[in-house]
Amino acid sequence: MPLLAFLLAFMVLPIGGMLRLAISNGELGSAMPATTEALRAWDGQGVPPEAVVAGFAAELRAAREARALGPVAQRLNNAHPGDRSLVQGAARRLPDEPDGDWRATLAGIDEAWGEPRIWRSLQAASAPWTDLYLLQALDLERDADGDIASVRDDRAIYRSILGRTFLISLVVTLACLAIGYPLAYKLASLPPRIANPLTILVLLPFWTSLLVRSAAWIVVLQREGPINEALLALGIVDEPVQLVFNRIGVYIAMTHVLLPFMVLPLLSVMRSIPPSHMRAALSLGATPLEAFVRVYLPQTRAGIGAGCLLVFILAIGYYITPALVGGAADQMISYFVAFFTIQTVNWGMAAALGSILLAATLVLYLIYARLVGIDRLRLG
């Protein structure tokens, strides 16, 4: 199976590697092996003994000379913002010989070195694996006693990002259902001669480049765009409405992008329902609404489930459309994965957020596979 080997090498392995990054903790170990050993054995009370601190000072200088200090400073900064300058500053101002003992010397450079907190951070960084990033991604941290606790409210951001991602996905899914259901119903009830060209019309956006559609929505929804001009001309509003670079724009553009994924499964289910069922219900005395709710709707449940799951799965991982059409407050998890990967180089955090997203997707996918079966995954 060459494809299996290929995918394992270029798809599964990279993702596995990313998951490992979410808990990997090797920075300190590779730059300061002796200190790492010593800190693992330390009991974590107060400031470590002089021998450990002296070893740390020696390795700090060596790491600075070998230009290997960057990752360590980054790692400490990830856990406790501000530690980067603390470590870099200490390395820069470290004297060749201690002024008395190393503990006092370091504390003389910055008081923080005289306090247990930084040493405990170093000890945490010396463990082979860490739950730091995964906890951070859920706005949790380990407090001074090593117990898991919520972070202070002013630093808690990730839970609201997760919540926002789910909210946007949910709204988009419901909007797709509300729009896609009548559309699929109409397509299913039309004769093939008319329905086929119309189905192509549904598929056309599906085949148009994502960027083209995002750009198009920016143009359509902008302050001077056709929608605002039409609204102004009709006298519905007095001044242009802000429709893009905010939540409304994200909802509209994402619904448009994902609608085909809702319509196609619905359509395949609805085409299999004989129209005689509805006619039978009507002739037996049901009102049209009753007939629809009690006869038609239950038969389309499988299609609704498949479409909603598919749209939701795709929506929670979306990056391009919200990044282009949304404002700063509308970005979803994906945006932050990209942000931590490319901009702040906090790979552990990127990987942790990615793992959460991946876990959510896989759970939904398993439900989908159970409900619909992966063999039924069709493309138009």
Partner 1 sequence: MAVPTYAGPLERTWYYAFRFICALIFFFLIAPILVVVPLSFNAEPYFTFTREMLTFDPDGYSLRWYRDFWTSDSWMSSIRNSFLIATGATVVATVLGTLAALGLSRSHMPFRATIMGILISPMIVPLIISAAGMFFFYSRIGLAQTYLGIILAHAALGTPFVVITVTATLSGFDYSLTRAAANLGADPTTTFFKVTMPLILPGVISGALFAFITSLDEVVIVLFLASVEQRTIPREMWSGIREAISPTILAVATILITISVLLLVSLEFLRRRNERLRGIRE
> Which residue from 204, 237, 297, 371 is in contact with partner 1, where contact means CB under 8 A?
204
The DSSP 8-state label assigned to residue 360 in this structure reads H
Residue 327 burial (C-beta neighbours within 10 Å; 0-12, 13-18, 19+): middle
Min separation Cβ 239 and partner 1, Å: 16
Instruction: Determine if 129 is a binding residue for partner 1 (CB under 8 A).
Output: no
Among residues 42, 217, 261, 312, the one that binds partner 1 under rule CB under 8 A: 217
- Residue 351 within binding range of partner 1, rule CB under 8 A: yes
Cα separations in angstroms, 359 against 62, 319, 353, 374: 41, 17, 10, 18
Site for partner 1, residues 266 to 285, rule: CB under 8 A: 275
Interface with partner 1 in residues 175-194 (CB under 8 A): 179, 182-183, 186, 189-190, 192
Question: Binder to partner 1 among 213, 265, 311, 372 (CB under 8 A)?
Answer: 213
Asked if 237 touches partner 1 (CB under 8 A), the answer is no
Q: Under a CB-based contact definition with an 8 Å cutoff, are residues 125 and 131 in contact?
A: no
Q: Which of 316, 349, 352, 372 lies at the binding interface for partner 1 (CB under 8 A)?
A: 316
Q: Which stretch binds partner 1 (CB under 8 A): 44-52, 126-134, 153-161, 372-380?
A: 372-380
Neighbours of 11 (CB within 10 A): 10
Check: CB of residue 313 under 8 Å from CB of residue 329. Answer: no
User: What is the rounded CA–CA span in Å between residue 170 and residue 321?
Assistant: 16
Residue 366 CB, nearest distance to partner 1 (Å)? 9
- SS3 assignment, position 131: coil
DSSP code of residue 8: I
Applying the rule CB under 8 A, the residues between 42 and 71 that interact with partner 1 are none
Minimum distance from residue 334 beta carbon to partner 1 (Å): 4
Instruction: Using the minimum distance from each CB to partner 1, give the nearer residue, 47 or 232.
Output: 232
| Pairing state between β 140-142 and 148-150 | antiparallel
**By CB neighbour count within 10 A (0-12 exposed, 13-18 middle, 19+ buried), where does 348 fall?**
buried
* CB closer to partner 1, 38 vs 221: 221
> Is residue 17 part of the contact set for partner 1 (CB under 8 A)?
yes
Q: Does 379 bind partner 1 (CB under 8 A)?
A: yes
CA torsion sign for 361, 173, 134, 142 is negative
Tell the smallest beta-carbon distance from residue 134 to partner 1 (Å).
15
Using rule CB under 8 A, residue 222 touches partner 1 = yes
Residues 69, 91 contacting (CB under 8 angstroms): yes
Nearest distance from C-beta of residue 344 to partner 1, angstroms: 13
Helix (H, G, I), strand (E, B) or coil at 349: helix
- The verdict on 352 binding partner 1 (CB under 8 A) reads no
